Amino acid sequence: MTQESTHTTQNTYPLPQALTRLQDQPQVQNLLARALHEHKLGHAYLFVGAPGSGKGLAAKALAQCVLCAQGGDAACDDCIRISRGTHPDVHVLTPASANGYLIEQIRQLIADVSLAPMRSTHKIYVIDRADLLRENSANALLKTIEEPPADTIFILSARSSSAVLPTIVSRCQVVAFRTLTDAAAKAAIMREISATEQEARIALAATGTPGRAVEFLQSSTRKNIRRQLIDVFGNLLRNDSWDVLTSAKELIEAAKIPLGDVKRAQEEALAQNEDFLTSAALKQVEAANKRELTARERSGIIEMLAILESLLRDVLLCCEAVDEEIVNTDAAGIIDRVASQTHTQGVLGALAAVQEAQYNLDRSVSPQLTLEVMLLHIKEALTCPPLSR
């Protein structure tokens, strides 16, 4: 490990550059630094903590330290690929739906584990939301996690170890992440990129975690979608039902725009590695890519719901005359106007419509139908006269 890529922690363990980003989780930072320094990395970790606590960031940082020839300099081609999610030896699994992982996903993972790394000496498997590993999927995975090949490391994540099946927990080293305050979360975003405190606050409201907030602020497409959504919200009370349905269709089309970048990254990774893949492995990659696109589209719709919820909460603050700064200051005029045309009961009804949309998405209802129904219900809630007491 080169001297230039390390710093020293108070515990005297060399700190790879990749781990410096975990400064909000010093205990995690020191634990991983020690394991790397003493060459005692576990074969399976379970990262537990609230959303936004840095579990995903830590998984990427550990992958960089393991796969980087310089020990995690955070600047080489391997580290950049890991950061962008395009490294062929870092596999990130997410649940196929709100109901959890498919047994087929786990079978494909197990088959892939037996293959040699493509670029590096090791392979990393990151399993998000391990609490959604149902018993059949978990049982299929147990032996692989317990006795993986020497070149394989598993990193599972969940909100708490109690939410994960005990048979999985017992085979992992549990690493706890503390919950970040809002101030710490905003500071983490502002350290990563050149953003104002208000931009960080808006991005957090839209995405929920510092890591996703950074990605949001770096994406002009996603920021444009937010602007489009604000315009739809501002015109909702004056538009007729046909206009609302048209707006829903346009939002769905906008949500698919960022998927173009994902598709290009997938095609690039496939082109670079297809000569090394068997036909069976190629089919597995294509199936995984398709699931990723579906998950990304759903994630984009969920982000829209979070933005709408944030706007409605700002309207609620205005209706209740609460002495608290709104989040969406760049939409203050629209928020004031909507607040002047509705009432507290209406806003609460509109917020309920957003929650209902989330419920429908979780149950695989069509995204366009979900948005159409939600926008119509929000319009109805905001325009109905208040119920008499």
Residues 137-179 pLDDT 10s:
888 899 999 999 999 999 999 999 999 999 999 999 999 999 9
Identify whether the C-beta of residue 330 lies closer than 8 Å to the C-beta of residue 202: yes
What domains appear along the chain, each with residue ranges and CATH number? Answer: 1-179 (3.40.50.300), 219-389 (no CATH)
- What is the tens place of the pLDDT at every residue in 96-123? 877 788 888 899 899 889 888 888 999 9
Token pair in block for residue 18? 């990749």
Tallying the residues shown for the chain, one arrives at 389
Token pair in block for residue 100? 């959890």
Burial of 202 (0-12, 13-18, 19+ CB in 10 A): buried
From CA 248, how far away is CA 374, in angstroms rounded?
A: 9
- What is the tens place of the pLDDT at every residue in 25-76? 999 999 999 999 999 999 999 999 998 899 999 999 999 999 999 999 989 9
How far from chain centre, in Å, is Cα 92? 11
Token pair in block for residue 111? 């088959």
> Position 156: which residue type?
L
pTM of the predicted protein model: 0.78
Token pair in block for residue 306? 């979070």
What b/e sequence results for 93-124 when a residue is b if at least 16 CB atoms lie within 10 Å of its CB, and e otherwise?
bbbbbeebbbeebbebbeebbeeeeebbebbb
> Position 100: which residue type?
G
Identify whether the C-beta of residue 374 lies closer than 8 Å to the C-beta of residue 353: yes
Q: Which H or E run contains 160?
A: none
